[in-house]
C-alpha cells in the first residue's frame, strides 16, 4: 500500500475539497484525483462521496482513514527515530509550558540546557493547555508540561508524573488583608483575584472552597497568561494574586509581595507532568529534559 496515497486520503478527508487538497499536496487537481481513484480501485472500496461543493468520507472511508492516520504517524516516528539513531545524537527540541512552570522551574532548566548543550536548538512555547495540546497533536511539540488532573485520559497520550508545583495567594506589602487575623474567601473576592487561565474544574473547586454557592466558578478579576504582568499589577493594587510559590520568590525576597493564608483553602498547586504522544520516541535531548524535570525536587502528588 502506497503511503503517499494514504497521505492524500487524509488531506482530502480533512479539507473536504479536491482543489484545496491538491494544492496542499503540491499536485494538479487531476493528478490528485487520479491518486484517490487509484487508492479506491486498489482497495475495492468507495472512500468518498463527491458532492457539488464538498467531499465527505463514506463509512468505508472513515474506516480506512482511522488506520491511515496511524500508519502515517508510525511512519513519521520511524523516520524521526532513524534520523536520531543514525547521527543526530542530541537532537533539537520543541516543548510547551504554561505560564506557571515558565515562571518557576523552566528558567533553571533552560540555563542547564544552554550550559550543557550549547549547540542544540531549543524552542519553548508558553501558552495555555488547549493551545499546547493542539500543537502536540500536530506533532509540532515533543511534549508539554501540564497539570495532569486536566489532561484527558486518551490512549494516544503518554503521561509522566513530575511533582506538585505548589501555589498560594499573595498580596502587596501594606495590603489591608495582612492586618487581619483571619482571611476568608469573601475577603479575597472583595479585593479581586488575579490568575492565569484556569481549568473550569479547578475554578469550580476553588469556588466551593471559598464559600461560593455549589456550581459557581471562581470569578477572576484579572485573567492573563503573563505572570510577570500579573505580579506587577499585584504590587501596585489591592489585587490578590494566585500563583506558584516558586514564581513569586524574587518578589517575596524583595518584600514586594507577601503570602496570605486563606481560611478553607488547602495546599494549592498543579500536579505537574509531561504530556507526549504515545509511540513517538523522545530524542536524547527531550529524554534528558524529562529526566531533569523528574529530578527537580518537586514534592510528589
In this structure, what CATH number is given to the domain that contains residue 35? 1.10.10.10
Q: What's the pLDDT band for 121 if we cut at 50, 70, 90?
A: confident
In this structure, what CATH number is given to the domain that contains residue 154? 3.40.190.290
pTM of full prediction above 0.95 = no
pLDDT score of 84: 59
pLDDT score of 89: 53
Q: Both 209 and 100 in a single domain?
A: yes
Instruction: Report, in angstroms and rounded to the nearest whole number, the Rg of the chain calculated over CA atoms.
Output: 25
37 or 267: whose pLDDT is higher? 37
Residue that is last in its domain, among 71, 86, 101: 86
Q: Both 161 and 43 in a single domain?
A: no
Each residue's pLDDT tens digit, 83-114: 655 555 556 799 999 998 998 899 999 999 99
Domain that holds residue 65: 3-86
Each residue's pLDDT tens digit, 129-172: 999 999 999 989 999 999 999 898 899 999 999 999 999 999 99
| Beta-carbon count within 10 A of 300 CB | 8
Mean pLDDT of 65-77: 84
Alpha carbons 81 and 280: distance in angstroms, whole number = 8
Residue that is last in its domain, among 60, 86, 112: 86
Residue that is last in its domain, among 64, 86, 108: 86
- Contact 194/240 with Cβ under 8 angstroms? yes
Q: Both 237 and 128 in a single domain?
A: yes
CA angle 208–212–213, rounded 5-degree value: 95
Q: Both 82 and 200 in a single domain?
A: no
Q: Both 108 and 175 in a single domain?
A: yes
Q: Both 152 and 198 in a single domain?
A: yes
Provide the mean pLDDT of the chain. Answer: 90
As for how many domains the chain has, the answer is 2
Of 170, 162, 169, nearest to 290 by C-alpha is 162
Return phi, psi of residue 216, to 5°. -95, 125
Q: Both 31 and 108 in a single domain?
A: no
87 or 277: whose pLDDT is higher? 277
| Residue 204 pLDDT exceeds 60 | yes
Q: What is the DSSP string of 62-85?
A: HHHHHHHHHHHHHHHHHHHHHHHH
pLDDT score of 88: 52
Q: Both 182 and 45 in a single domain?
A: no
Q: Both 225 and 242 in a single domain?
A: yes
Q: Both 107 and 38 in a single domain?
A: no
Of all residues in the chain, the percent with pLDDT exceeding 90 is 68
The four Cα atoms 22, 26, 31, 36 give a dihedral, to 10 degrees, of: -50
pLDDT score of 85: 54
Q: Both 82 and 41 in a single domain?
A: yes
Strand extents, DSSP E, 24-156: 48-50, 55-57, 93-97, 122-126, 143-147
Q: Both 76 and 93 in a single domain?
A: no
| Residue 271 pLDDT exceeds 90 | yes
Amino acid at each position: 500500500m502506497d503511503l503517499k496515497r494514504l497521505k492524500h486520503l487524509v488531506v482530502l478527508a480533512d479539507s473536504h475539497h479536491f482543489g484545496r487538497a491538491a494544492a496542499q499536496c503540491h499536485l494538479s487537481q487531476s493528478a490528485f484525483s487520479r491518486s484517490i481513484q487509484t487508492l479506491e480501485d486498489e482497495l475495492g472500496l468507495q472512500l468518498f462521496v463527491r458532492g457539488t461543493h464538498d467531499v465527505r468520507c463514506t463509512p468505508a472511508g472513515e474506516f480506512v482513514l482511522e488506520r491511515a492516520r496511524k500508519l502515517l504517524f508510525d511512519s513519521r516516528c520511524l523516520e524521526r527515530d532513524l534520523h536520531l539513531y543514525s547521527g543526530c545524537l542530541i537532537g533539537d527540541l520543541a516543548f510547551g509550558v504554561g505560564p506557571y512552570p515558565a515562571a518557576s522551574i523552566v528558567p533553571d532548566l533552560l540555563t542547564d540546557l544552554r550550559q550543557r548543550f550549547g549547540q542544540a536548538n531549543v524552542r519553548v512555547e508558553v501558552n495555555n493547555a488547549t493551545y499546547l495540546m493542539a500543537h502536540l497533536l500536530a506533532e509540532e511539540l515533543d511534549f508539554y508540561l501540564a497539570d495532569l488532573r486536566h489532561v484527558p485520559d486518551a490512549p494516544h497520550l503518554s503521561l509522566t508524573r513530575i511533582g506538585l508545583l505548589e501555589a498560594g495567594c499573595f498580596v502587596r506589602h501594606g495590603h489591608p488583608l495582612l492586618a487581619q487575623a483571619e482571611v476568608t474567601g469573601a475577603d479575597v473576592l472583595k479585593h479581586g483575584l488575579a490568575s492565569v487561565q484556569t481549568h473550569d474544574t479547578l475554578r469550580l473547586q476553588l469556588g466551593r472552597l471559598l464559600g461560593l454557592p455549589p456550581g459557581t466558578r471562581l470569578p477572576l478579576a484579572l485573567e492573563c497568561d503573563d505572570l510577570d504582568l500579573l505580579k506587577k499589577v499585584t504590587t501596585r493594587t489591592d489585587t490578590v494574586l494566585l500563583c506558584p510559590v516558586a514564581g513569586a520568590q524574587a518578589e517575596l525576597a524583595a518584600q514586594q509581595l507577601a503570602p496570605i493564608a486563606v481560611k478553607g483553602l488547602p495546599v494549592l498547586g498543579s500536579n505537574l507532568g509531561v504530556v507526549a504522544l504515545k509511540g513517538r520516541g523522545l530524542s536524547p535531548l527531550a529524554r534528558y529534559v524529562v529526566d531533569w524535570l523528574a529530578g527537580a525536587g518537586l514534592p510528589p502528588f
